[in-house]
Amino acid sequence: MLLPARRPDGSGRRKASRATTVRGVNIDFDELQAQARTTLDPGVFQYFAGAAEDEETLADNRLAWRRRKLRPRFLVDVDVIDTSTSVLGTPLPTPMMVAPMAYQRLLHDDGELAVARGSAATGTPMIASTMATHSLEDIAAAAGGGPMWFQLYVHEDRDFTLALCHRARDAGYRAIAVTLDMPRLGNRRRARRIGFEMPSVVPNFAMEGGPSGNRYASRGFDVSVTEEMLGWLSREAGLPILVKGILRGDDALRSLDAGAAGIIVSNHGGRQLDGAIATADALGEVAAAVDGRAPIVVDSGIRSGTDVVRALALGAQAVLIGRPVAWALATGGAVGVQAALEALQAEIDLAFRLAGVRSVAEITPDLIATV
């Protein structure tokens, strides 16, 4: 997608693209979170906003991106730029996707359907969670053919696990993100303190023979996902597998050797091991180890276009956005999600131009200051 600069009279040299038509849209995600807080049940708000234990990793995630300072290039004609890319064949108008988040119906009646509609309107693929509160098929239908990925929690019951993967494939999902960082649920102290209860009905479990309701929490998840399991899934799932939750170069290599097609560097938005390294700090090591063998996606604490440029300069091909989408859903439904993603797309477009890059290929490590 070629994005023209806007002329002072508002006209573009080329036909104005979505990202330029929304230039000027400005969303402060901290303000949006504060607004969501006023409308949501306090337990639901804390479940989405909170993280594990002392929330050390939650705080560090955002700071770590900001510690990376950019070295913009000038004497570059950034009048016409291209922010598009693709990951494992999934086209992205900007290097951004929506992170998988459980229980979105808690935020808005339309839950994942609204996120699917809002993100599809911007061309941004969404990753639907195993713990979605609408079925995989309904979410895919709401996206109206827009590309989607599925996030898988591996279950002890391998037939059930595989059936979920095949359902995703048959519903048109293009890749599966297998989350590795939840052998147990992290200690979400904030949400527990306020007495938040998980919903008991998760439609993706309403399959004959599968675990039902929220039994997943105590029984269903496989706590011993190994390379053998990953190899099996990669062969049988019928879709490319990315591993989500990687924070070390050696784990990335072991995953690729076992058959994974891509890596998602993530600490689950600080919700699992508190004290885990911020993803901005882990990404360089993972990128060096992977050395171009497979795509790397990164999430946790990414809140702006400049964060996206930093992530790409540190070696990622794309990013995932989590909580900002939750706040947009809570405050504005599908329209809110669309507006939030359009604002981020406009920020990414602006960050490219201000950093002096015309395409994702031009985002190289020298854009980050070493001191």
Ligand X SMILES: Cc1cc2nc3c(=O)[nH]c(=O)nc-3n(C[C@H](O)[C@H](O)[C@H](O)COP(=O)(O)O)c2cc1C
Stretch that binds ligand X, among 75-83, 114-122, 306-314, 315-323 (CB under 6 A): 315-323
Contacts of 180 (CB under 8 A, 6+ apart): 225, 243, 244, 245, 246, 255
Stretch that binds ligand X, among 79-87, 138-146, 213-221, 299-307 (CB under 6 A): 299-307
Minimum CB distance to ligand X smaller for 151 or for 234: 151
Stretch that binds ligand X, among 9-17, 36-44, 226-234, 293-301 (CB under 6 A): 293-301
300 forms part of the interface with ligand X (CB under 6 A): yes
234-238 contact pairs (CB < 8 A, 24+): 234/258, 234/259, 234/260, 234/261, 235/259, 236/162, 236/165, 237/162, 237/165, 237/166, 237/169, 237/176, 238/165, 238/166, 238/169
Torsion angles phi and psi, residue 201, rounded to 5: -115, 120
Stretch that binds ligand X, among 26-34, 100-108, 206-214, 247-255 (CB under 6 A): 100-108
Q: Are 61 and 301 in contact (CB under 8 A)?
A: yes
Helix (H) or strand (E) holding 312: helix 305-313
Q: Using CB under 6 A, which residues numbered 164 to 183 contact ligand X? A: 179
Strand partners for 147? none
Chain centre to alpha carbon of residue 260: 18
Pick from 315, 254, 330: nearest CA to 29: 330
Taking residues 1 to 40 in sequence order and writing x for each that binds ligand X by CB under 6 A, - otherwise, the string is ----------------------------------------
166 an active-site residue? Answer: no
323 forms part of the interface with ligand X (CB under 6 A): yes
Taking residues 109 to 148 in sequence order and writing x for each that binds ligand X by CB under 6 A, - otherwise, the string is --------------------x-x-----------------
Minimum CB distance to ligand X smaller for 299 or for 342: 299
Q: Using CB under 6 A, which residues numbered 261 to 290 contact ligand X? A: 266, 268-269, 271
Q: Are 276 and 257 in contact (CB under 8 A)?
A: no
Among 321, 330, 340, 344, the residue binding ligand X under the rule CB under 6 A is: 321
Minimum CB distance to ligand X smaller for 94 or for 129: 129
Token digits of residue 12: 């573009």
| Distance (Å, whole) CA 333 – CA 356 | 35
Minimum CB separation of residue 78 from ligand X in Å reads 27
Other C-beta atoms closer than 10 Å to the C-beta of 143 total 25
| Residues making contact with ligand X (CB under 6 A) | 47-48, 61, 99-102, 129, 131, 151, 179, 244, 266, 268-269, 271, 299-302, 321-323
Return the active site residues: 268
